[in-house]
Amino acid sequence: MYKRIRDLREDRDMTQKQLAEYLNISQATYSRYESGNLDVPSSVLIKLSEFYKVSIDYILGQTNISKRPTEK
């Protein structure tokens, strides 16, 4: 999961600081998420999923299909 959130951020040419500001957390906290030194809370997973338009399963590494399911 940690590599995946880093890859998603880097694919969009964003810094940790920029993403931390979006999530309303410190850059140090976000850095700990990416390094695996701190578990990512479910509320942050939801925000990341919405921001990147990918499923939470994709972020967690449960699937390689990145698209979120369409809502009916």
Q: What is the block-wise mean pLDDT of the chain (72 residues), using blocks of 10 residues?
A: 91 96 97 95 95 92 70 50
Predicted structure pTM score: 0.83
Residue type, 28: A
pLDDT at 35: 94
Q: For residues 42 and 28, what is the distance between their CA atoms, to the nearest angstrom?
A: 18
Q: CB 13: neighbour CB atoms within 10 A?
A: 7
Question: Given CA atoms 20, 43, 70, 67 in this order, what sign does their dihedral have?
Answer: positive
Q: Are 12 and 56 in contact (CB under 8 A)?
A: no
CATH number for the domain formed by residue range(s) 2-60 = 1.10.260.40
